[in-house]
Amino acid sequence: MVTLSRKFSTATSDSLACISLKQFPQNPQKPTPFYQIQQQQPKQLESQIVTTLDGCKNLTQIKQVHARILLNGLDQSCYVLAKLIRTLTKLNIPVDPYPLSIFNQVNYPNPFLYNALIRGYLIEERLKESTEFYSLMRKEGVVPVSFTFTALFKACGAKMDVGLGRQIHGQTILVGGFGEDLHVGNSMIDMYIKCGFLECGRKVFDEMPNRDVISWTELISAYVKSGNMESAGELFDGLPVKDMVAWTVMVSGFAQNAKPREAIMFFEKMQEFGVETDEITLIGVISACAQLGAAKYADWIRDVAEKSEFGGKHSVVVGSALIDMYSKCGSVGDAYRVFQGMKERNVYSYSSMILGFAMHGRVHDAMKLFDEMVKTEIKPNRVTFIGVLTACSHAGMVEQGWQIFELMEKCYGIKPSADHYTCMVDLLGRAGRLQEAHELVKTMPIEPHGGVWGALLGACRIHKSPDIAAIAANHLFELEPYCIGNYILLANIYASCGRWNDVSTVRKLMRTRGLRKNPAFSWIESEKGMVHEFFSGDMTHPRSGEIKQALEDLLDRLEAKGYQPHLSSVSYDVNDEDKRRILMTHSEKLALAFGLISTIPGSKIRIVKNLRICEDCHSVICGASQITGREIIVRDIMRFHHFHDGICSCGNFW
C-alpha cells in the first residue's frame, strides 16, 4: 500500500545515512569532477547531474550521485529528482522504500515527479498503487500531463483492465485539454484494442482531431488481427501518408487471412510506389506466394528480395521462407538452390528443406540432408522430425520411421508431440497396418488431437476400412464438430464400400449441424502467368468448348491403353453413366485439359487443388504424363504429386 505522505520514514533516513560522499561514479563520458560542478550555475549543475545519472549502472553509483544532489541543495529540484527516480526504476530498484522516500521529502512535487513514481509502480506491475498515486496527484491539485495518461493507459492495456481504462478515459475529459493530445489518443486506442474493444478504439480514432501514422496503423493492425480485412483496407485507403509499416501490415494481413492474391497485389503496388521493403514485408509476400503456389510470382519475389539485400544469401529468415515458398510452388529444385546459396543456415533452413523434399516425394534427399544436419552443430527440433517422419510416411518406410521416432527422445531429448504421433499413425496407416495404427493411438501417453484421428481416418480411405473409419470419425465429430471435411471423408469411405445407408446417415448429420461442403476447385497458371480457376462441374470458362474436346480426346487415348474410370471415387448413389459424367468434370481434370491446350508442348504443367486429389484423377493424370510426354505437378491439400512418364512420385501413397 502506498503511504500517501511526503515525510521521511526511519528507513529512508537510514538509507540516506549510508550514502557515500566519494567522487562521482565513473562512466564512459568522464563526468565533471565535483569541484568544477560547484562552480557552475544551478541550471548547468542540474544538467550535469542528469547526464551523470544516465551513466549510472548500479545502485552504489546512483547513491553517490544522490549524495551530491543533497550537498548541492537540489533536494527540492523536481527535474533532478524525477530523473533520479527514473534511473532507479530503470535498474529495477523497488519503488518502496528508496524512490518513494525521495518523493516524500519534496514539499511541492510537480507532475513529472509524480509520473516517475507512477511509472515505477507500473514497471513493477502494481497498477493499484500507480492509480493511488494518480489520485493523490489530483487531490493535491497537481494537473496531470500527457505522460501520466499514456503510462496508465499502457498499464490498463497490459492488464486488460478495460474498466479502469474507461475511468482513466473519463479523467482525460474531466481534467480537460487532452482531446487534441495525439499521444494520449494513440495510447487510448491501444488500450481498447488490447482489451478486446476494437470498436471503442475506432470511436476514439474517429473523434481525434489530429492523427499520425501510428494512429492509423494501430487500428489497421487491429482489424487485420480480427480478420476484418475490409475495414483494414478502408482505413488504409484513407491514410494520408502510407509508410513501409502500413504497407507491410496490409501485405502480411492478407497473407495471414488466407487472401494470397490480395497480398501479392498490395506488394506489387508497394513496389510501384517505390516503398522500401524489409524482412517482415518480404516474409509476408513470400508466405502469400507459397499459399497461392504460383511459380510466376516466386522468381519475381526472390529478385526483389535480392535487390533489397534481404535475399537468401544475406538473411537466414528470408532464405528459409524462400525455401518453403519454392517448395510449395512445386519448384523443389529452386528451393534447394536457395538453400545451397545461403551463407548462414539454421534449424529452420534445414527443417524447411527437409520438409520440402518430403512433400515432393524425394525421400532419399530428405534423409541425406537430415544426416548432413546432425553432423553439424545445428540440432534438429520438433519441426525437423516432422519433416523426416513425413518423408518416411510418403515412401512407406515403416521400420526406418520407427527408428527415427525413438531417436527423438533418446538422442535429442525431444518428447514426441501429438503432431509426431500423427506422422506415425499416417505412416502405419498408409502401409496398410491399420490395426497397429489404431493401437498406437489408443496407447499414446498424451491425448490425441484431431490430426491423429484424421490421419487414421485418411488411411481408412486408402484401404477401405469403414469400421475403423467410424471409430476415428466419431472422435473427430467430438473434437472438430464443424469440420466438414471429416464428414465428407467418412461418407466417401462408406460410398466406396457401397454402404449407401451409412452415407445417408452421415449426410443427414451434416444437414442437422448446418454444414455445407466446400466446393472442390483447382487452379493453374497460363503461359503468361495468369491464374485460371476451375470448379468441379463448372463449364463457364471462355474456352470450355476446347477444354471439353481436349479432355474427351485424352480419355479416349487413355481408354485405348486400358484405362477404366474409378467409379468408387463418386460418393453419390447414381448409375454408372452419371458417375462417369461427374468424374469427367472434376476440377483437376478441367485444369489439366486447359494446361494441355494453353501451354507450350513439352513444358511442365502445374496444378493446385484445394482438397485431396481423387483416385480417378490421379490415375488419369498419371496416364496423361505418359501419353503426352509432359511432366505434370499437382499440389493437393496433402502433398505434391510429380507425374512423369506414367509414374507418380507418391508411389500411390497419398
Q: Which residues lie across from 305 on neighbouring strands?
A: none
| pTM as predicted | 0.75
Residue 51 phi, psi (nearest 5): -65, -40
In the numeric block, which cell numbers belong to residue 261?
Answer: 492474391
3-state secondary structure of 609: strand
Cis peptide before 260 (omega within 30 of 0): no
**Residue 638: predicted pLDDT:** 78
Domains, the chain, ordered by start: 440-513 (1.25.40), 521-648 (no CATH)
3-state secondary structure of 444: coil
Q: Which residues lie across from 635 on neighbouring strands?
A: 608, 640
Q: How many CA atoms lie within 13 A of 353 on its CB side?
A: 30
315 sits in the region (left: phi over 0; alpha: psi -120 to 50; else beta) called beta
Q: Which residues lie across from 640 on neighbouring strands?
A: 635
Q: How many CA atoms lie within 13 A of 182 on its CB side?
A: 7
3-state secondary structure of 57: coil
Residue 92 phi, psi (nearest 5): 65, 30
Reduce the secondary structure of 357-391 to three states and give it as a string: HHHCCCHHHHHHHHHHHHCCCCCCCHHHHHHHHHH
Helix axes of 466-479 and 484-496: crossing angle, nearest 10 degrees: 170
3-state secondary structure of 603: coil
| Residue 628 to residue 304: CA distance in whole angstroms | 36
In the numeric block, which cell numbers belong to residue 192?
Answer: 481498447
**Residue 9: predicted pLDDT:** 35
Distance set, CA 327 to CA 88, 287, 309, 362, 640 (Å): 52, 12, 22, 12, 9
In the numeric block, which cell numbers belong to residue 620?
Answer: 488419369
The list of the chain residues with pLDDT below 70 reads 1-42, 527-529, 653-654
**Residue 654: predicted pLDDT:** 64
Helix axes of 127-139 and 111-123: crossing angle, nearest 10 degrees: 170
In the numeric block, which cell numbers belong to residue 421?
Answer: 504421433
Residues in the chain, overall count: 654
Distance set, CA 113 to CA 51, 106, 351 (Å): 18, 9, 53
Distance set, CA 492 to CA 496, 505, 506 (Å): 6, 12, 10
| Residue 198 to residue 202: CA distance in whole angstroms | 6
Strand order through the sheet with 647-648:
531-535, 521-525, 605-609, 632-635, 640-644, 647-648
| Residue 100 to residue 19: CA distance in whole angstroms | 16
| Residue 245 to residue 256: CA distance in whole angstroms | 16
| Residue 98 to residue 101: CA distance in whole angstroms | 5
Q: How many CB atoms lie within 10 A of CB 344?
A: 11
| Residue 330 to residue 607: CA distance in whole angstroms | 9
DSSP state, residue 209? S
Q: Are 621 and 592 in contact (CB under 8 A)?
A: yes
Sequence letter at residue 348: Y
3-state secondary structure of 133: helix
Q: Are strands 605-609 and 531-535 parallel, antiparallel or unpaired?
A: unpaired
